[in-house]
Amino acid sequence: MSRELRDARSLHSGREDRVDGAPSRAWWRDAVGYEVYIRSFADGNYDGVGDLVGLRDRLEHLAWLGVDLVWITPFYPSPMADHGYDVSDYCDVDPAFGTLDDFDSVVLEAHRLGLRVMVDIVPNHTSDQHPWFVDARRHRRSQHRDWYVWRDPGADGGPPNNWVSSFGGPAWTLDAGTGQYYMHLFLPEQPDLNWNERAVAEAFAQIIGFWLDRGVDGFRIDVAHSLVEDQAFPDNPTIGPVAPEMTPRQAFRCFEHLYDLDQPGVTDIYRRWRQLADQHGAVLLGEVYLHEAQRVSRYVEPDALHAAFYFKAMSMPWGAAGVRAMLAAGVESGSGRFAWVQASHDERRSVTRFGGGAEGRERALVLSTLYAGLPGMMFLYQGEELALADGVVPPDRLTDPVGTRNVNPAGSRDGARTPMPWADVDGFGFTAPGVEPWLPFGGRGAADTVSVQRRDPASWLYRYRSLIAARRSLPPTEGTVEWLVDDPDRLVAYRRGGLSVSANVSDEALDLPPLDGTWSVHFATDPACTLRRLPPRSALLALRSP
C-alpha cells in the first residue's frame, strides 16, 4: 500500500471515534450511503462499461451531494454470468473494471473528499470458474470438494430435494463427472459454498483482511442470511404450484423457505468478521433479504453485524398504513441498526414502483424524507438523487439472467441498471460519444441528467442534496420515535425529541394539527409546504426552537 494511501486511511479509521477522551457515536451509525452499480456508473476507458477510473473521476459528485459512504458493487474477476456476483478471484480486479492500482486510487480520492468506501463481499457462492470449484468438481476426494454443498441424487435420480433457485429452476445441478448434485441458490454458475467447512471460514478471514489492509471502511455482505442450510436437507413446504410462466420470484414464493434460508448458526460466521472489522473501525452491513423486521434484527445482535439493510419498502404498496407500518416495525426491531433503503440494482426503481411520473418521484422523495429523521443509516441508489424512473430496455437488449433465462422476462433487473445520465450529450457523459453502452440509456432526456439538474436549484438533485444536508445538521438524533396518529389515512408523522417529521402520502392537500411551542421548517420537499399545510405527496422536517 502506498504511503499516501496509508496516510489518507489513518484519517478515516480509528477504532473508536473519540471526542475529549469519551467514546462518541460510531461514524457509520447515521451515515448516508450511496450504492454505485459499477457497470453503469461511469466509463473511464470508453468501452461502454463503467469502471473504477470512471468512478474515481465522478466521486466529486458524491462529495457535492453530501453522502458519507460509497458502496461499490463487485468489481472482482468474474465470468460475469451474474454481472460480477459470480466471483472467480476475491482479491483482484476484473480487467473490465480496471486494476488494483485503480482501486487504490478510488480509495485515496474518496478519503481525500471525506467519503468512506464499502466493498461488496460475496460469501454465499463463488463462480463455477473459481479455482476452488474447478478443483471441487475434479473428483469426490479433491481438496476443495467439501468447500461446496454436494448431495447424492434423490430416490428417483433427480435433485436431492425440492429447493428452488432464486433465479429460476431447481437449486441443484448434476455434476455428471462425479455423479452428485451441487447446490446453488442462484445460477448453476454460482455454486453455494459450504460454511460448515472450516477452511472456507479461514479463506474469507484472509479475504476480509486483504481489503481492510487496502483501506476499505466496510463490507456489504451479499445474501447475508443464506450461508447456512439445514444439514438434513428436507423439502421445503409447498405453498402453491409452480407454473412455467412464473417469474423466478413468483416461483420462489411458492415455497415456505424453512430449511434453505435464515438458519440458526448463520450469525456465528459474522462474529469473527466483526472482530476483524472492529480492529479497523470498519462496518459490516448485511444484505438480509427477509421482509419481517424481527427476523432481520437477529443479524444485528451486538457481536454480529453492525447493520443490516431493511428491504420492506421494496415490497410495500404506496399508502399511509403500509408506509407507517413499515417504518414503525423497522424502528422497533432495528434499534438504529437497520439501513433504510428504497431502491437498488435488484429492484425496479422506487419512482417506478410508486406509480411513475411526477407522482412516483414525489412519493420517493417523501419516503426519503421520512427516513431522514430516523435512527440508522440511509442509502440512495445511483440516480435516485435525480429521481430517475426505470430505463426502458428492449427485449433484444436484456442481459440479466433473471430475464433472459426464464420464460417470463418480467423479472429482469436491467431497467434499474441502465447507465447514469451525467450530461446532455451523446453518450450522456457516461461514455464517449458514439460508444454503445453495455445497456441502452433507456430513454433518458436532458432533464434527467446531472449537469442540467445541477444548474437548477429547484431540481430533484438539489432537493435530495438539501435533504441530506438537513439530516446532517439535525441536532443529535437521540430520543424515541413517537408516531402521531391524526389523520391515519393520509398523514404519516412522528416526533423524535425536538424533531417533527410530517408526510402527506395522499393525493390531496392536508391541514396539519398545530404543533405545541415554536417550530421552524428545516427541510420541505415542496416550497408550498408550511407547518400547517402540506400539498399532495409532500413532507417536511421541522425543528422546535430551544
| Nearest one of 390, 368, 386, 225 to 309, comparing CA atoms | 225
Q: Nearer to ligand NOJ by C-beta: 166 or 369?
A: 166
Residue 300, Cα to own-chain centre: how many angstroms? Answer: 16
Query: DSSP alpha helices (H): ranges in 233-349?
Result: 248-252, 266-279, 293-297, 320-334
Among residues 82, 222, 362, 390, the one annotated as catalytic is: 222
Cα maximum dimension of the chain = 76
Strand, helix or coil for residue 278: helix
Exposure b/e, 470-495, CB count within 10 A at least 16 = b? bbeebeebeeebeebeebeebbbbbb
* CB-CB contact of 470 with 504 (8 Å): no
CB of 85 to ligand NOJ, least distance (A): 3
Residue type, 308: A
Contacts with ligand NOJ, residue ranges (CB under 6 A)? 82, 85, 122, 186, 222-223, 287, 345-346
Whose cell is 487496502? That residue is: 214
Q: Nearer to ligand NOJ by C-beta: 190 or 236?
A: 190
Catalytic residue list contains 222: yes
CB of 362 to ligand NOJ, least distance (A): 27
Integer Cα distance of 202 and 132 in angstroms: 14
CB of 338 to ligand NOJ, least distance (A): 17
Q: Nearer to ligand NOJ by C-beta: 194 or 369?
A: 194
Q: Nearer to ligand NOJ by C-beta: 222 or 390?
A: 222
Q: Nearer to ligand NOJ by C-beta: 218 or 427?
A: 218
Q: Nearer to ligand NOJ by C-beta: 287 or 384?
A: 287
Integer Cα distance of 202 and 193 in angstroms: 13
Q: Nearer to ligand NOJ by C-beta: 260 or 287?
A: 287
Among residues 287, 362, 384, 385, the one annotated as catalytic is: 287
SS3 helix, strand, coil % of the chain, rounded to 5?
30, 15, 55
| Nearest one of 11, 18, 143, 55 to 420, comparing CA atoms | 55
Integer Cα distance of 459 and 466 in angstroms: 11
Integer Cα distance of 217 and 33 in angstroms: 12
CB of 89 to ligand NOJ, least distance (A): 16
**For the sheet containing 519-524, what is the strand order?**
481-484, 491-496, 499-504, 538-544, 519-524
CB of 275 to ligand NOJ, least distance (A): 25
CA atoms within 13 A on the CB side of 95: 1
Q: Nearer to ligand NOJ by C-beta: 346 or 526?
A: 346
Residue type, 363: R
Which residue, judged by CB position, is nearest to ligand NOJ in the bound state?
85
Phi, psi of 20 (to 5 degrees): 50, 45
The H-or-E segment that residue 92 falls in is none
CB of 147 to ligand NOJ, least distance (A): 17
* CB-CB contact of 327 with 493 (8 Å): no
CB of 479 to ligand NOJ, least distance (A): 34
Residue 157, Cα to own-chain centre: how many angstroms? Answer: 39
| Residue 108 CA: distances (Å) to CA of 58, 112, 347 | 13, 6, 31
Pairing mode, if any, of strands 18-19 and 22-23?
antiparallel
CB of 226 to ligand NOJ, least distance (A): 9
Residues recognised as catalytic: 222, 287
